[in-house]
Amino acid sequence: MNIEIDGLTRCFGSVEAVAGVDLKAGPGVFGLLGPNGAGKTSLLRMMATAVPPSSGRLRLLGRDPGGYGPRREIRRRLGYLPQNPGHYPGFTVAEYVEYVALLKEVPPARIRAAVATAIERVELGDRRKSRMRTLSGGMLRRAGIAQAIVNEPELLLLDEPTAGLDPEQRVAFRTLLRDLGQRATVVVSTHLVEDVAAACAQVALMDRGRIVFHGTPDGLAARGAGQHAGDTPIERGYSAVLAQARS
Amino acid sequence: MTGPRLLRLYAAGRRVPLALLSTAVCATGLRIALLRHWDAYGALQLPLIFEAAAAVSVTATAASPFGEPERVAGRLLPYLRAAVTVALTAAAVGLLTAAGTGGHLSGGTLDVLRNVAGITGIGLLCAAVLGGGLSWTGPTGYLVAAVYALYTQWHPPVLATPWLWPARPPHDLGGALCAGLLFGCGLAAVTVRGARDRIGDPAAA
Amino acid sequence: MTAATAAPAAGRTRPTAGRAGQAALAGLRMLRLELRHNAMAWLLPVAIGLFWLTTYRRDMAGPPLWNLRAAGLQTGSVLDFAVPVTGAAAWMASREARHRVTDQVTVTARPRWVRLLAVWAATTVWAMAAYLGCLAVLYGVTAHQVGWGGPLWWPAAVAGASVPAFSALGFAVGTLLPSRFTAPSAAIAAFFLLALSTDLINGSHSAWQIAPIVTGPWDQGPAGGVATFYPFAPDLSIAQVMFLAGITLALLAALALPAGSAGRRVRAAAAGLVCTALLAAGAAVGLASTGTMNAQGVIDIPALHNAAEDRPIRFTPVCSHTAIPVCLNPAYSGYLSVTADALAPLLDQLAGLPSAPTRLLQEAVTFRQDSGNEVEIRPAGPGIGGAAGSASFVLPVQFPGPSRTPAQLAGQLVGAYAPDLVARVVEDRAGASQAQNAVARALLTAAGLHDPADASAAGNGPPTGGPDAGPWPVVTPGTPAYAASERFAALPEAARHAWLVRNLAALRAGRITPEQLP
């Protein structure tokens, strides 16, 4: 298992953003669904080692990120796209991805090829010399994905990766996700349930800091039988589970 | 009630309270410095340092945290920019003058007014050209040049251009005109188009 | 987006072979990236402009002496570069927070302190490159103007060491307090610190001399007489470099101290480095406080002093072809013609007389600390009235003070030494006869000088008054001595000289009356 979580919590002051989550995930694409404020981003940030948990047990890639050495080892094999990724506006796309590759300790001899590959995979090859400040929102998101995958991560955490992508790009992105999921554990946090239905083998639904559903997209869709809220079976399942959790 | 509320929100977004605090710290520093006896050179140089510090506090508020959404939000923005900048400059002059009252503040109120206004003008022009975050570059560079110009009053070759007005007497018309002109140009630039912010640049902290 | 691409396996396993080489290569790549996007590059025009305005212009307006150029370089360029580099470093340090990339870079493997160090290094490299360029220009131009001696590197090293120190200071502040007010506050605070520190200097024992803009006894200012007859003693410069290096290392090592910035061993090493560096900086301050100004006008720190620097530099003087040769230390060779031209009319009259000096030789000055910050500077040797044979003198540029035009220098020199030179020849001392006074005055006026007591002569000829002017013989208008003096001065030079050759011994003995003067 690349992700092993037991009773994980995270508090910000008096607010308990993540309230006792248990989760296990191996290679494949894992969808994390939930309404705004459900705790998805907080859970993802803990898995990315950006913030430590308040309590509970977290093991990533077979290591405990609590120690500096194991955490650094995890980070070498990690890719992370935050919900609002920042960037240095004066950097070109290639420089931005190269900078992150250097920070991820990709061996210098491989950086040039790794950067070129990552940029090609998000179809920004023709904009590799463009400054970040000149990119559109969707292109910035793709550049963010490129920096996340530049080190061929074994654990890839993507927070709202398809926000701002046009329909064509979203379809292409799902293909990329499936490909990445062949070798790595990919966790995708999103509001867009159709992305989950199309690309994820496993899905978890969070609400108020807890996981209220964990299973397959088909399983989630099946929970929506007889519901009317939503256009697709999985959207109806999403609504049904949330309604049940809140009742 | 809308006007004052808008002004308050605008000021909060531009970190005006922090700028006022920073200016108050400058005034306090000047007051403490004036408790000590300085030689003629130090007595001229130290107030100028505090005046420049107060001026960069004023110009640091030029940076917008909102960017385009704010620019297209209405016609009141230029008035807000001008009002806040003028008010902060006046506050800086007032606080520094008050700090110098009863102390040996060389040059007096006229000097404080001229120096703060002129250096603020330089900072505002930098904000318009380079961006609000870099508005300090001009004033700090000017400070070094101005202090050197003061030094040349005792050690030739003398720098007597009115553009380096801190080295000229407070009642000097040329210096006052240069300082006033820069303040006017800076204020106009920031009022009309605000501090430069580039697309894709996250807001100033 | 492309799904099936043969991506290179990147960073899966930690490389074991050539790890240091890989780390160095990665570091260089990071530095290259940071250099391309560093705010200091945009601030270089400000720093270079300030250097031109406050350092280069001032240095070039002064005499072309290595010691003065080096002192001007140190004081000026520290201020010129400290302010922009402090601000730029503080600005760059707050970059991650301003651009909201903190989460992205925090979850990467490379330690935080390495990441920050690359940004600091890029800022420093830009500032240092600009400083070295300015140094090269200033010293290059000076090398073309100065014919003897060589550049003083210690003052340049102090100014160079202040660049990384102020960069580290700004960077540390920017890392701690990432705000829009941080960069300007840090830049102005750096300037304030530098300005304030010198005001607290009281005498040459002050620990505040550690401030990198201090090149010697602070209130004396750069003096042309320092480090020309004696080697430059770098005691204070060594302490300053030690202080700046200590501060730089302590501030940079402190970046690795926060939890999560580095591994336990690195953090422990950083803590040790912070302590060691602070101790070194403290020791440097302590050393500076033990300094005293020595007779050569430089700060002598006993623990750092090399006694060899107290031995005078051997040199072959450069001499003029005047009737009595005027010889200067070759460092001042640029002043030979103006000095010789100024003294020539007088020397022509005195040459060949029995008590006239055979040559005029420039001598060193000595320095003595008075109360407070006052410094007394006086000629080291006996002066004009010294031993028979040669007479010694001091050029005005050996004293601190504003730069002088050649005309000013000539006037000052003649005013200071001509009366003494004449007095030496005619033995015009206290108790001298009226004839001696009359002859002395006649020789001076015949050389084109004007008696400061003679109001009618005011405004004519080179200035002969001033604080350094030698005492003129007292000859009251309307007296027989005055008439004799006017008469003797009006003689043709050859007749005057011939009379002196014949009668100088009697004149010196006081056996000549004013009426006997031709």
Mark which residues 99-138 of A lie under 8 Å from C by CB. Answer: 99-111, 113-114, 117-118, 120-123
Residue C18 falls inside a structural domain = no
pLDDT tens digit sequence for C232-255: 889 999 999 999 999 999 999 999
The answer to whether B202 faces chain C, any CB pair under 8 Å, is yes
Please indicate whether, in this complex, the C-beta atoms of B200 and A89 are within 8 angstroms of each other.
yes
Residue C7 falls inside a structural domain = no
Please indicate whether, in this complex, the C-beta atoms of B200 and A86 are within 8 angstroms of each other.
no
Question: Which among B38, B53, B140 is the nearest to C199, CB-wise?
Answer: B38
Residue C166 falls inside a structural domain = yes
Mark which residues 185-224 of C lie under 8 Å from B by CB. Answer: 185, 187-188, 191-192, 195-196, 199, 221
Please indicate whether, in this complex, the C-beta atoms of C87 and B52 are within 8 angstroms of each other.
no
Mark which residues 77-136 of A lie under 8 Å from B by CB. Answer: 86-87, 89, 132-135
Distance CA C502, CA C506 (A): 9
Residue C240 falls inside a structural domain = yes
Q: How far is C199 from chain B (nearest CA, A)?
A: 7
Domain count for chain C, please give it: 2
pLDDT computed for residue C51 by the predictor: 97
Structure tokens at B205: 């902290």
Residue C9 falls inside a structural domain = no
C197 with C62, same domain: the answer is: yes
Kindly indicate the confidence band of residue C2, based on its pLDDT and cuts at 50, 70 and 90: low
Residue C1 falls inside a structural domain = no
> What is the pLDDT averaged over residues A61-76?
93
Residue C32 falls inside a structural domain = yes
Pairing label, strands A202-207, A28-33? parallel
Q: How far is B168 from chain C (nearest CA, A)?
A: 17
Which one of C282, C310, C338 terminates a domain?
C310
From the list C301, C300, C254, the residue with the least C-alpha distance to C273 is C254
From the list C29, C2, C32, C14, the residue with the least C-alpha distance to A151 is C14
Please indicate whether, in this complex, the C-beta atoms of B156 and C61 are within 8 angstroms of each other.
yes
pLDDT computed for residue C47 by the predictor: 96
pLDDT computed for residue C458 by the predictor: 45
Please indicate whether, in this complex, the C-beta atoms of A87 and B200 are within 8 angstroms of each other.
yes
Which one of C289, C310, C331 terminates a domain?
C310
C306 with C326, same domain: the answer is: no
Kindly indicate the confidence band of residue A8, based on its pLDDT and cuts at 50, 70 and 90: very high
Tens-digit pLDDT string for chain B (205 aa): 677 888 888 888 888 999 999 999 999 999 998 888 877 777 888 899 999 999 999 999 988 877 777 777 777 888 899 999 999 999 999 999 999 888 777 778 899 999 999 999 999 999 999 888 899 999 999 999 999 999 888 877 788 899 999 999 989 999 999 999 999 999 999 998 888 875 445 444 4
Least confident range of A44-58, A220-234, B117-131, C270-284: A220-234
Q: What are the distances in angstroms from CA C427 to CA A101, C9, C432, C498?
A: 88, 98, 7, 18
Pairing label, strands C326-328, C318-319? antiparallel
pLDDT computed for residue C470 by the predictor: 59
Q: Which chains have 3 or more CB–CB distances shorter than 8 Å to chain B?
A: A, C
Cβ atoms of C452 and C467 within 8 Å: the answer is no
More confident call, C486 vs C278 = C278
C378 with C448, same domain: the answer is: yes
C328 with C433, same domain: the answer is: yes
C336 with C303, same domain: the answer is: no
Average model confidence (pLDDT) across chain C: 85
Q: Which percentage of chain A shows pLDDT scores above 90? A: 68
C282 with C329, same domain: the answer is: no
How many of the other CB atoms lie within 10 Å of CB of C164?
A: 26
The answer to whether B32 faces chain C, any CB pair under 8 Å, is no
Distance CA C5, CA C28 (A): 29
Distance CA A139, CA B181 (A): 44
More confident call, C148 vs A146 = A146
Please indicate whether, in this complex, the C-beta atoms of C9 and A152 are within 8 angstroms of each other.
yes
Please indicate whether, in this complex, the C-beta atoms of B19 and C80 are within 8 angstroms of each other.
no
Residue C4 falls inside a structural domain = no
Q: Which chains have 3 or more CB–CB distances shorter than 8 Å to chain A?
A: B, C
Question: Which among C10, C22, C262 is the nearest to A114, CB-wise?
Answer: C10
pLDDT tens digit sequence for C91-149: 999 999 888 899 899 999 999 999 999 999 999 999 999 999 999 999 999 999 987 88
Q: Which residue of C has its CA nearest to B57?
A: C181
SS3 of residue A83 by DSSP: coil
C256 with C386, same domain: the answer is: no
From the list B34, B139, B22, the residue with the least C-alpha distance to B88 is B22
Q: Domains of chain A by range and CATH? A: 3-77+155-246 (3.40.50.300), 84-152 (no CATH)
pLDDT computed for residue A170 by the predictor: 87
Phi-psi region of B53 (alpha: psi -120 to 50; beta: other; left: phi over 0): alpha
**Interface predicted TM-score of the whole assembly (ipTM), two decimals:** 0.90
**Single-letter amino acid code for the residue at C466:** G
Kindly indicate the confidence band of residue C382, based on its pLDDT and cuts at 50, 70 and 90: low
Question: Which among A133, A135, A140 is the nearest to B201, CB-wise?
Answer: A133
Domain boundaries, chain B: 2-193
Any bridge partners for residue A12, and if so which? A15
Distance CA C267, CA C168 (A): 18
pLDDT computed for residue C201 by the predictor: 81
> Can you give the pTM of this predicted structure?
0.88
Q: According to DSSP H, which parts of C322-459 are helical?
A: 336-350, 406-426, 434-446
pLDDT tens digit sequence for A192-227: 888 888 889 999 999 999 999 999 999 999 988 777
Kindly indicate the confidence band of residue C463, based on its pLDDT and cuts at 50, 70 and 90: very low
| pLDDT at position C220 over 80 | no
Pairing label, strands C292-293, A210-215? unpaired
pLDDT computed for residue B44 by the predictor: 84
Cβ atoms of A206 and A215 within 8 Å: the answer is no
pLDDT tens digit sequence for C163-215: 999 999 999 999 999 888 899 999 999 999 998 888 888 777 889 999 999 98
Q: Which domain holds residue C198?
A: 26-310
